[in-house]
Structure 1
C-alpha cells in the first residue's frame, strides 16, 4: 500500500509541474491572438526598445526592489536591507519557476534566516507581517482603482470593473475587522475551519493578529513608506514600459491595469501567475481602448522585469549565498540579529 501511495505521489509531483508549464506556455503563446493581434505585430513594437531605455527600466526596477527591502527589514528587526533584498529575490526566483512555488520560496527564506541567526518565532512574525502587507497592498490598489473607475472610465467600464473587483471590499473589511477585534479573528477563524477543515485557524488567526500588531506598532513607518514607494515605482515602471514603446496610454488607465495585475497575481494557478496575468491584464487594457499589439508588448516588457528578471538575478544571488555557506561552513550566526 505504501509503495502504491508513493507511486501516486510521484506521479502527482510530476504531472503538476508539467500541466502548469503547459498552461503557462499556452497562455503566453496565444496572448496576441486572445486580444486580436499577432506575434509579428507585438515583436515589431518590442523592437523599438533601445539599450539606454532598458538600462533606465532596470534602474527603476531595482529601485522598487530596494524600496521593498525597507518593508522586509522592518518586519524582521535586525535584518539589513541587503539581506532583505536577497530574501526577496531568491524567494521570488524559486516561486517563479515552481508550481505553487510560494511554499518552496518560503522554505528557502526560512533556511536563510535561520542561518543568519534569527529564531523560528521571529521568522513566523516576519512571514505573518510581510504576507499581510503584501495582500493588503494589492487589495488597497484594487480598492482604490475600484473607487476611481466611475470617475476615470465610462459607466460600462464601471460595471465590468465592479464585477471583477467585487470580493475586494469584503476582503479588506474582514482584514481590518480581524486586526481591530480579536473576537473577530476567533469568529472568522472558526468559520473558515468549518469550510477548510483541520485548518485550526480559530487558534492561528488570533496568534497571527497579536504577532502582526506587535511588529507593526514598532515598524509601521518604514513599512508604510517602503510599501508606498514600492507601489509608486511599480506604477512608474509600468508607465515607462509603455512610454519607451511609444504606446499612448494615460496614467488612469495604467493604474487600472496595475490593479488588475495585482488582482491576478493573487491567483497562483501557474508559477508567479505567469500567463494568467499577461492575458488578463492585456485584455483589460484593450477593453479600455488600448491598441492590442502595443498593449501586449508593453505588458510583456513590464512582466519581463517584474517576473522574468527575478529568476536569473535571484538564482545568481542564491548561488552566491550557497557558495558562501559552504565556504564558511554555515557562517557564524549574528547574535545581535536573534529575535
Structure 2
C-alpha cells in the first residue's frame, strides 16, 4: 500500500527521469509549472473538457424537491423517532433544554466552528496555492450542500471546485486537491474512526462489569472498517504508476481517452502532494474529529450523564458510521436517534439522552449549515480573482 512519505519499490518518484513528465515542466505537483485548462496537454487536460468549473452548479427542481423531502424526513426522525427510542416526550425534552446552563449552546457553536476551521486547514493544504480564506469558504459551502441535499456530496464537491477556480486556482491544483482531501476523509471516516470505536468497545469491560449493548453498533463498525480498508487498498493499488498505466491502456482500447499521459501526470502530482504534505493533510482533520468527540463529551456531561470515556468514543464512532447512511444527507436525524438509543441502553434517562444528542447537533449540523450558507454568499459576491 502506498503511504504518504514513501514511494513504492521499483517505481520512479514524481518528477524523476522516466516518470512521464514532459521535459522542462519541472516536478509534477508544483503549481507554478502548470497552467489552467487552457494549457494544451496540461495535467488536467484529460478532464477539463468534461468538468465545468467556470459556472456554479445548479440545483434542478427535482433536487430542490428532494431536499425538502429530506428535511421532512429529518424532522420526522427527530420529532417521532427520538421520543420513541428514548421514551421521553417533547415536553420533557423542552424542560431539559431550559434547565441547561446558559453557556451550553454557545459552547457548541464554538466547538462546531473550531472543527470547521480545522477541516478547512486540510482543504488549504490539499489545494496547493490556495488561501485559507478561500479554503474556509469553499469547504463550508460544500459541506452545507452535502448535509442539506440528498446525494449532495458530488454537488458539494463541484461547488468547492468552482469556488476554488473562482479564487484563481488552476485546474490541476483543484483536481489534485479534491482527490487528496477525499482520500483523507475516506481513510479517517470509513476506516480510522470505526476502528477506534471497535477498540474502545472491546476495552469497555475494563472500566465496567460488562461491555455496553450498543444496538447494531458492532456490526455497523465492522462493515465500515471492512469497506473502508478495501476501498483504500484499491485506491493505493490504482495509484501505482504501472497499475494505472495498464488500466488506462485497457480503457483506451474501449473508450476514447484524449491524453492518457496527462492522467499519469495527474497521478504524479497527487502522489507528490501525499508524500510531501501528509501531516498537513491528516493532522487538522484528526484534530477536527477530536473536537467533535469533545462536543459529544460536553453535551453528555452538561446533561449530568455519567458514561465512561471509552464508551463515549464508541458512541461517537457509531454516530460517524451512521452519518454515512444515505437515507438522509449527512445521516442527520439517524445519528442523533441511534446515539440517544445507545445512551438509553446504557441506563441514561430518556429526556437527558435526547437532549444531549440535540445539543450535539448544534455543533455537527446547525453550525456547518449556517456557516456554509454565509460562506457561499460571501464567495459569490466577491469579484473573481485573476487566474494563476
TM-score, normalised to structure 1's length? 0.80
Which of residues 43, 58, 67 in structure 2 aligns to 1:17? 67
What's the offset of the Cα at 1:239? Answer: 0.9
Distance 2:125 2:212 in 1: 42
Distance 1:38 1:260 in 2: 24
| 1:137 and 2:137 aligned | no
Distance 1:289 1:210, change over 3 A: farther
2:115 maps to which residue?
Answer: 64
Distance 2:357 2:92 in 1: 14
CA contact (8 A) 2:108 2:295 kept: yes
Which of residues 29, 36, 40 in structure 1 aligns to 2:79? 29
How many residues of Structure 1 are paired with residues of Structure 2 in the alignment?
Answer: 310
**Once the two structures are superposed, what CA deviation does each residue of 1:118-162 show, in whole Å capped at 9, x if it has no partner?**
122322211111112112112211111112312215357389543
Distance 1:40 1:83, change over 3 A: same
Once the two structures are overlaid, the 10-residue window that deviates more, 273-282 or 159-168, is: 159-168
1:167 maps to which residue?
Answer: 223
- Secondary structure at the aligned position of 1:84 is classed as helix
Distance 1:131 1:61 in 2: 21
Distance 1:55 1:11 in 2: 36
TM-score, normalised to structure 2's length? 0.71
1:248 maps to which residue?
Answer: 306
Distance 1:60 1:266 in 2: 22
CA contact (8 A) 2:100 2:303 kept: yes
Which structure has the larger Rg over C-alpha atoms? 2
Distance 1:269 1:207 in 2: 38
Residue ranges of structure 2 left out of the alignment (5+ in a row): 1-59, 248-254
Residue ranges of structure 1 left out of the alignment (5+ in a row): 1-9, 191-197
Distance 1:37 1:206, change over 3 A: farther
Distance 1:15 1:320 in 2: 25
- RMSD of aligned alpha carbons: 3.2
CA contact (8 A) 2:204 2:212 kept: no
Distance 2:269 2:335 in 1: 32
CA contact (8 A) 2:200 2:313 kept: no
| 1:277 and 2:328 aligned | no
Distance 2:304 2:277 in 1: 41
The answer to which structure has the higher helix fraction is 1
**Once the two structures are superposed, what CA deviation does each residue of 1:300-337 show, in whole Å capped at 9, x if it has no partner?**
11112211122222212222222223xxxx3x3252xx
Distance 1:52 1:45, change over 3 A: same
